[in-house]
Amino acid sequence: MTEQGTSRRRFFTGAAGLGVAAGVGVGVGVATGYGIRAATEANAASTDPGSTGAASTDPDAQANAIVPFYGARQAGIVTPQQERLMFAAFDVSTTDVEELKRMLGRWAAMAARMTQGKQVSDSPTKPAQPPFDTGEAMDLGAHSLTITVGFGPSLFDDRFGLADRMPPELTAFGTIPGDAVMRAELSDGDLCVQACADDPQVVFHAIRNLARAARGTATLRWSQLGFGRASSTGSQQVTPRNLMGFKDGTRNVRADDTATLDAHVWVGANGASLAPEHEWMRGGSYLVARKIRMEIESWDTDPLEDQEKIFARFKDTGAPLTGGDEFTAPDYAKLGDNGQPVIDIDAHIRLASPEQNNGLTILRRGYNYTDGQDPATGKLAAGLFFIAYQRDPQTQFKVLQTRLGKSDLLNEYIAHIGGGLWGCPPGVSAPGDWFGKSLFT
């Protein structure tokens, strides 16, 4: 083993050991089994300088495709959509709120490192210890990894003393149209983590290591992998297509449209007032997810003209049936030769459009998925893992889905089989801060 000395020493070189310190608020700092120091008050002062996020402004780091982790808002919401998703929902298994807080601190410290393409810990692994990091992303870059954390309505029951901190926006919807077949084992969860990156192994590594660091505190409830279009064929980026073959996202909110984001996505933007006990969500956003199974074998037998009637767009170009190109606004009033609206009264884009919903707007961030063969039916199990961000799901997604669920022509070919609602707090501002810290203090 002597020949390995150099590289192993290099690997084992690093700041700090296990951080153990008395602290305010969290009680004690954390010596986890993983060598990961929680980014809590207890040890903010001793945090690895490599985790400060400063590297993200360095040109070398940019070339390595790093999305800054620390900031006023969580990354992964308006961040340009990466190509791969792993989404995970967790249930908290402890009833000790201090344990939960320490885990959220560990997650923040790990996320700060992983989003820079680093292993979860810079502490040396002793040979007799399990490695701190599972290792499969060791040679990969950050690939624009973002890790976004949210809190579900169930977290605000009587376990953690948070009941009066739950904003009314986070009230569970109950069963709204289209949601009747949602499965408990694919739905909800006390916490959610959305990991997005341009590499599937990087997102898997992130969720796997967060789940590992949660052991004893929270357990994985369900998870979902997703993919988008990898790239366009030419230099011009084109709108990705869903697995029904239609362009999806043509009219989505743009990341640089600050006014629209403030009006529809960010909680408490434009100085909106919040109850003091709900201030912890200011600068955050509410995440709604739906696992939307497509009946692709039925869809594939549907005539082209019917498919286009359902979406009210041409399949090849994405242009609305009322003419123009992909980005032309649909003319919902236009009548055809038969005196009927060219865009059917129940067409998907009509029912979902801001124009037909008093300006209702959400930020979509969906991924295609396939689970391979459905063992029950023998069919390909595939569809859209829909994610949307908004400032008030009660007046946004819930209203929109109630309308779509009742009469969308698309309903014949889709089923909502899972999903949930989470409040994603504002960003982790700096080492020492952590996901939702102000909720717990």
Stretch that binds a copy of itself, among 135-143, 145-153, 158-166, 249-257 (CB under 8 A): 135-143
**Binding status of residue 151 toward a copy of itself by CB under 8 A:** no
The answer to whether 12 and 125 have CB atoms below 8 angstroms apart is yes
**Binding status of residue 175 toward a copy of itself by CB under 8 A:** no
Residues of span 43-62 touching a copy of itself by CB under 8 A:
none
Stretch that binds a copy of itself, among 170-178, 221-229, 266-274, 395-403 (CB under 8 A): 221-229
Q: Which of 27, 50, 71, 200 binds a copy of itself (CB under 8 A)?
A: 200
Q: Which of 70, 222, 311, 385 binds a copy of itself (CB under 8 A)?
A: 222
Q: Which of 58, 96, 300, 355 binds a copy of itself (CB under 8 A)?
A: 300
The answer to whether 387 and 285 have CB atoms below 8 angstroms apart is no
3-class state of residue 186 by DSSP:
helix
Count of C-beta atoms within a 10 Å radius of residue 117: 22
Angle at 46 between CA 45 and CA 51, to 5 degrees: 100
Amino acid at 230: A
Rounded distance between C-alpha atoms, residue 205 and residue 133, angstroms = 9
Per rule CB under 8 A, count of chain residues that contact a copy of itself: 87
Q: Which of 266, 314, 386, 397 binds a copy of itself (CB under 8 A)?
A: 314
Stretch that binds a copy of itself, among 98-106, 243-251, 274-282, 422-430 (CB under 8 A): 243-251
**Binding status of residue 160 toward a copy of itself by CB under 8 A:** no
**Binding status of residue 80 toward a copy of itself by CB under 8 A:** no
Residues of span 102-131 touching a copy of itself by CB under 8 A:
117, 125-131
Q: For a copy of itself, which is the closer residue by CB, 208 or 403?
A: 208
Residues of span 340-399 touching a copy of itself by CB under 8 A:
342, 368, 370-373, 375, 378-380, 382
Q: What is the dihedral of CA 349, 350, 356, 362, to 10 degrees?
A: -20
**Binding status of residue 305 toward a copy of itself by CB under 8 A:** yes
Rounded distance between C-alpha atoms, residue 431 and residue 415, angstroms = 42
Q: For a copy of itself, which is the closer residue by CB, 174 or 375?
A: 375
**Binding status of residue 246 toward a copy of itself by CB under 8 A:** yes
**Binding status of residue 96 toward a copy of itself by CB under 8 A:** no
**Binding status of residue 31 toward a copy of itself by CB under 8 A:** no
Estimate the share of the chain in helix, then strand, then coil, as percent rounded to the nearest 5.
Answer: 30, 20, 50
Residues 6 or more apart from 38 whose CB is under 8 A from it? Answer: 19, 26, 29, 30, 32, 102, 103, 105, 106, 108, 109, 434
Tokens of 145: 């990894």
Partners of residue 28 on adjacent β-strands? 22
Angle at 357 between CA 411 and CA 229, to 5 degrees: 55
**Binding status of residue 158 toward a copy of itself by CB under 8 A:** no
Q: For a copy of itself, which is the closer residue by CB, 52 or 134?
A: 134
